[in-house]
Amino acid sequence: MIKPFHKLTRMEFDKLVEQGITWEEMAQLYPQPVWCSYPGAVEGAMGCWKLMDFQIKSRMSCTGCDCYVVVEKKQP
């Protein structure tokens, strides 16, 4: 199941690391949020440091970032 990286818990992340997941696999299975335009945000030390440190929990965490992209809500 694909879910955005910011939805992972630290415990889930640690388990994936123990299982040997690569950063490439991590980025495919747990991509950066849709509102983030940071190049390679889920790439470990070279990614978004706030995202990689589990400080991003929602869109509101990123609104002051230069890489924040306004994403329109889908209409029903």
Mean pLDDT of the chain: 90
Q: Collapsing DSSP states into helix, strand and coil, what is residue 36? A: strand
Return d(Cα 28, Cα 44) in angstroms, integer: 13
pTM of the model: 0.81
Residue 75's pLDDT band (cuts 50, 70, 90): low
Task: Report how far Cα 21 is from the mean position of its chain's Cα atoms.
Answer: 15
Residue 76's pLDDT band (cuts 50, 70, 90): low
**What is the residue type of 10?**
R
pLDDT of 1 reads 59
